[in-house]
Structure 1
Amino acid sequence: MKQYTSNIKKGKEIIEYYLKQMEEEGLTHLPRWTPTTKQQECLTSTSDHSTSPALNIPTVNSTDGHNSRDSHPTSSSPPEPLSSTPDDKLEADYIKRYLGDLTPLQESCLIRLRQWLQETHKGKIPKDEHILRFLRARDFNIDKAREILCQSLTWRKQHQVDYLLSTWSPPQVLHDYYAGGWHHHDKDGRPLYVLRLGQMDTKGLVRALGEESLLRHVLSINEEGLRRCEENTKIFGRPISSWTCLVDLEGLNMRHLWRPGVKALLRIIEVVEANYPETLGRLLILRAPRVFPVLWTLVSPFIDENTRKKFLIYAGNDYQGPGGLVDYIDKEVIPDFLGGECLCEVPEGGLVPKALYRTPEELESEDIRLWTETIYQSASVFKGAPHEVLVQIVDASSVITWDFDVCKGDIVFNIYHSKRAPQVPKRDTLGAHGITSPVCNNVQLIDKAWQLGRDYSMVESPLTCKEGESVQGSHVTRWPGFYILQWKFHNMPACATSSLPRVDDVLASLQVSSHKCKVMYYTEIIGSEDFRGSMTSLESSHSGFSQLSAATTSSSQSHSSSMVSR
């Protein structure tokens, strides 16, 4: 009965929430719902199998305060199929084990955002824990969370962050002079990262490595933190979604306020805040010197308010008493340089030798190299100026695959075939596999004098893609020759003439027409004998960060021509 009462309270909370929404929308009356004959039969059948004979209420089986989502039929015959699917609900045990406490409304927000991602980002759906971080960062406002999550997914894809742990090899300078590293865990089971910022030569590191190398190293630390959180979740048997950072500021002085160093620090904070929300559980700042308020004044405006609430700052040796470090970290793992007995293998830092400094030109070249090492290309699409990519096919039955994101605006995706070679811009050359690598970010290949049906033909139906959508697909070629992948500006449909245009339609039309569209894409050719079961065309699906959908997997294993998996 207690569990039944608890379920009633949860149901009341949900009902009151939606009643309030209807009031805000001006709805004052809804007709009483009456089931159809088929629905009545279904309800009767379900009631016979899943209700308690004594009380005629749904049977509840729970030991942890959550009602079980599983059906327990009392008859030996198979239960009637339920109308819901595993995608529109979460198991209570799963929530408790991996996600933590969620109210019914928070659970609903997670499910709705995940379903939206499944519709628009098939093949690259982040795990529930990752989606939940973005929802929590925006107080479960779905629209705001969806916006920053989509931006982050595009960023991860463009810079191949999913592969960072396997591809990033820190230079020796970082091994020797970057005074930071992982060190056991705190009392809550969170991974513990120790940073001896006061002992670090920020100027020397920037002069020796450049801003981008430092940023990439910090990103690899965050990726490792996500991995350790998953590992600790398995070890401790409860959800651990964030880590603790311990920052020792002993030695911090005015040299740390070197302008380029502060600039690099602010950029790192900005990128981490945008792409790793709610991953910092607690930040312990120890031995803060007098110069710290100056540094705090510079960086605090760039830190989210929710993140700032997790900062605990101790001046001098205040961290050693009650309410200090021992409240958050077991005494056995307090680092030796903080008065503990645990040997900490974090490098001590020190001054970077000037012999390792590089010239501004060398640093700029290295920065460009780091962030242009990506399989994806970006292109702008304007009204009347589509972006086109040429693919030359020698053997029929080859498979052209693509993976692209619509970063801005709405576009129409087309594939054409021509026996004639289009005139390629002079600076473009056919790269490996016969795919162009355009230098500029907008290339047009189809000559204006060409006529559709005579000089070239359409081999797939046009696909309209909206801003924020992610598209994957493949096409099995029937003929050799030249195939052109085209991203074209999508013109808004004209308003109906029978009535005045709606304000929303006019504003949307103005917004689209006044901005260019942008896409980020990757294409590849695979031989038909190598295509079955191959996912090399879907690079973003290789990472453990992603969960490859069954729909995408099945489509990749067929030889049929497929425009997209969206």
Structure 2
Amino acid sequence: MCHYPVNVKYNVYLCVYVQVHPENEDWTCFEQTASLDIKSFFGFESTVEKIAMKQYASSINKGKEIIEYYLKELEDEGITHVPRWSPPSLSLPPPRPTSLSTSPLDLPKLVVTPAASIPLTANAEDSISQEAKQDSSALQADSLTEILAGTPEDKLDADYIKRYLGDLTPMQESCLIRLRKWLQETHKGKIPKDEHILRFLRARDFNIDKAREILCQSLTWRKQHQVDYLLETWSSPQVLQDYYTGGWHHHDRDGRPLYILRLGQMDTKGLVRALGEESLLRHVLSINEEGLRRCEENTKVFGRPISCWTCLVDLEGLNMRHLWRPGVKALLRIIEVVEANYPETLGRLLILRAPRVFPVLWTLVSPFIDENTRKKFLIYAGNDYQGPGGLVDYIDKEIIPDFLGGECMCEVPEGGLVPKSMYRTAEELENEDVRLWTETIYQSASIFKGAPHELLIEIIDASSVITWDFDVCKGDIVFNIYHSKRAPQPPRKDPLGAHGITSPGGNNVQLIDKSWTLGQDYSMVESPLTCKEGESVQGSHITRWPGFYILQWKFHNMPACSSTNLPRVDDVLATLQVSSHKCKVMYYTEVLGSEDFRLVNFSVCLFASLLLAICSF
């Protein structure tokens, strides 16, 4: 069992292959177990759990396919019974195996389709004799006889394969032809190119049934949403052109199109608030469609098959504004759509200027990522990418962007904060069925003059960290944090608030009793923070003492008029107008251990969730 700073624990898979069945000694049992215990992952526990279960279920299904494949091979050989294995005599060398039924050592080396190919460890390979390997090679050659003996229509031209598809085994070539033929006979509509079909086959390890299922779903999705015409019909809004910090930039050394994403400079929350999820989704889809088009062009230019692209992610500037939960969940949903419809399109992921704690995070995330996918990730912390073995190994020096120390001017926008004047209202987003404001992790509260909203947090261990993230949806408020050694009384519900305003009830809680004296019964631990309507505030406080902390959102009073001057009519009307309306905030708070907060900050946890989501591309 491994222990990580973010309180995620997991057990490595436990496999038992040769346990005798308790009721029938002629049966052999196979067991595989694993456990995952997620105590805290900064609000993403359910996401991590779903991804872990998805990966584990995929592993179990693949193991089942391998076992069924072996059994089918035995049946094809006419073997219906395998005698129980017994260790050979120590005085005599083991006999050379002559059939699948003579030694269990042959079983791991049976002919395996790419869907069932699993690399053996060095010890396992050493344990297999040279004779067994030769026999396995002979069996593999026999298993391909039917494919090789097929009609010319069942084969692809060798030059065509080399020029547009890349290296394919006879088995893979057969899978491609069969799936394409099935689409031509049954599918109504546009038939995708061989390169596109091949991506789905590779995504399912050339299991035709599974590849056919996800490909048909994707084709239906493309037809419903007219994705084939997206590049001709979609025009990015100006806010995306100015503030979306991503764009295409030449190609890498392998001829793959290069996409650069300056994630640390992107205002994720501002883009979601200004555009909504639908526009962001269409923009991301247009990026993927453009990537496919560039792959086709580069295939023609370089004279070799190029089916995927390289993504360079710059994390400089990553901070707490990237943690906005509704925005993160919207991005995860977008990535889920991309994963289902653009498999095997990410050839390499270069992560630059990663935070120092990223290696710790990578240790946590990597067990959930397939080994072949892990090879696509290259992570550089700080300025390590500038030396030998760095970026120049994958990108020509002449096209390294200027913001990474190169001499090539990059047209990717620099980003920055999206002006709040571009934000759309919550009502406008809800009308589009994009309810990013109503995520369950956020709570809403109404605030009246004389009736603040207060939240109680009990701290057991000193040096804990209280974090908050709130938006001022309406009106102006003052945010305070207080500490008390004694617990406040249960929340009271006044029938009438100040100035005859009815108490809002369930979404307004008052804890500090009017009889309490500031400095005696409770103390202020942070300076008051005045927040205007439309502002988004994130922050944290390291607690010095155990006890009870009270977070307070208070109505912001208008400045009092000078006693020497009569108030203007406009000032009086403005004061009455503000007093007659309630303020509204939406907030989320969390308490972290100081060690967790220091080792794994919010921004890195956000990137972990995104990393887990894109690992299947």
TM-score (norm 1): 0.49
For the pair shown, the structure with the greater C-alpha radius of gyration is: 2
| Greater RCO (CA < 8 Å, at least 6 residues apart) | 1
TM-score (norm 2): 0.45
